[in-house]
Amino acid sequence: MKLWKVFILALGLACQSFACQPPTLPTQPSVIDTTTQPLWSQARDGGSGVYGWFPQFIFGNNLITYTKKRGVAYIVAINKDTGQEVWAWSDLLVPQEEAKTDGVHIYDNICVWKARNRVYAINLQTGKTAWKHSIITNAGFNTDGIAGLGNRFLIHGECARIFV
């Protein structure tokens, strides 16, 4: 074989293994979406909006909050991980009233709260009424506040009352 043929063959092999390879492009960094997403979302009262004066709080694995269903006031327990409703309470002494209060008192699994001259106790595990009581008062000014220590709580009215 002639020398020039060997040279061209060697040059061709060298070109294939080195210079003629397409250059490797740097890989693009992957983009990670860091926008926080809600765990779950729940429309209240058909999405028409709900407002109320009931403090939200966590009890066990549930979010206890206020909502409306078909215009009726409810206190509900919602699983904080899944957004599924666990129970709904709507046992108001006056059904068309709002379930509103400035505060709640919790002892064991009972949530006590006051709205105007009515006091309610809800079992937070079952969503059932533990008891409810209407307070007869002639007070012109009344608050929805409540204070408590253990199984005793104080409500405001014409005169302060302590319940056990």
78: exposed, middle or buried (Cβ count in 10 Å: 0-12, 13-18, 19+): buried
| Tens-digit pLDDT profile for residues 36-84 | 777 777 766 665 555 667 888 999 999 998 888 887 888 999 999 999 9
**Distance between CA 114 and CA 132 in Å, rounded?**
10
Cβ partners under 8 Å of residue 76, min gap 6: 64, 65, 66, 67, 85, 86, 87, 88, 89
Whole-Å CA distances, 143 to 3, 65, 76:
108, 20, 23
Residue range 45-163, CATH number: 2.40.128.630
State phi, psi for 14 to the nearest 5 degrees: -65, -40
The stretch 124-152 carries a mean pLDDT of 76
| Mean pLDDT, range 125-139, rounded to an integer | 82
Q: Dig out the tokens for 33 from the structure.
A: 């979406």
pTM for the whole structure? 0.68
